[in-house]
């Protein structure tokens, strides 16, 4: 059996970034993928923002104090980090390395700014942009969440509009319309499957 044939049968794990503007449904998409017990390792992001009532530490995010986040930055423990709406978010390196060594594809949910950083650090990462059918639909979703003050909402809407202009920096774009969540997940799975069948596989190095 040739090396090429072996790689087709035993594809190497990929580093996959799920990104997009606030309101596009990134968290919901990731949650449905977990519910369907898909064979991926989902990286948990560290953040300094306060925990929401429905969120679980270590499952949705690692909620840390700013002093702890500063230590992680100083000791180079993060693949990338950024300030998002006034709070820090970052991806722990060790978690990603351990996941990839297990042979599973690794999925990270990060903002558009963070996705661009990952692209620079890991050029062979697979970047998927989640969006909605129109800017109007996105704005409506943000307003309906009612999780921010009026000023915070205005910032999120303005940021989302800017992020929609950066789709070209991603490998794929997936529209996530209301009431079609499983179809969105199926599309993402199809993209990942297709990437594993490419003749020239992505060689991820961390």
Residues designated as active site: 52, 145, 156
Q: Within the chain, where are the H helices?
A: 3-9, 26-35, 66-74, 93-101, 112-121, 135-145, 150-164, 181-196
Q: Cβ contacts of residue 134 below 8 Å, gap of 6+?
A: none
Residue 41 backbone phi and psi in degrees, to 5: -100, 125
Answer whether 14's CB lies under 8 Å from 106's CB. yes
Shortest CA distance to 197 belongs to which of 10, 36, 39, 18? 10
How crowded is residue 16: how many other Cβ atoms within 10 Å of its Cβ? 25
Q: Cβ contacts of residue 143 below 8 Å, gap of 6+?
A: 153
Handedness of CA 192, 193, 195, 200 (dihedral sign): positive
């Amino acid at each position: 059996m040739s090396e090429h044939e072996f790689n087709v049968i035993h594809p190497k794990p990929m580093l996959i970034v799920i990104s997009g503007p606030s309101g596009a449904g990134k968290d919901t998409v990731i949650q449905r993928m977990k519910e369907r017990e898909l064979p991926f390792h989902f990286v948990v992001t560290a953040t300094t923002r306060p925990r929401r009532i429905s969120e679980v530490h270590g499952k949705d995010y690692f909620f840390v104090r700013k002093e702890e986040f500063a230590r992680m930055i100083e000791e180079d423990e993060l693949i990338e980090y950024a300030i998002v709406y006034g709070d820090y978010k970052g991806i722990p390196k060790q978690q990603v390395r351990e996941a990839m060594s297990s042979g599973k594809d690794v999925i990270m949910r990060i903002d558009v700014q963070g996705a661009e950083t990952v692209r620079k650090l890991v050029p062979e990462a697979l970047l998927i942009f989640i969006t909605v059918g129109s800017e109007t639909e996105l704005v409506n979703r943000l307003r309906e969440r009612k999780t921010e003050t009026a000023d915070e909402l205005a910032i999120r809407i303005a940021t989302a509009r800017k992020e929609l202009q950066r789709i070209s920096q991603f490998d794929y774009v997936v529209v996530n319309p209301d009431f079609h969540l499983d179809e969105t997940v199926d599309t993402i799975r199809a993209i990942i499957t297709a990437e594993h069948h490419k003749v020239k596989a992505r060689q991820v190095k961390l």
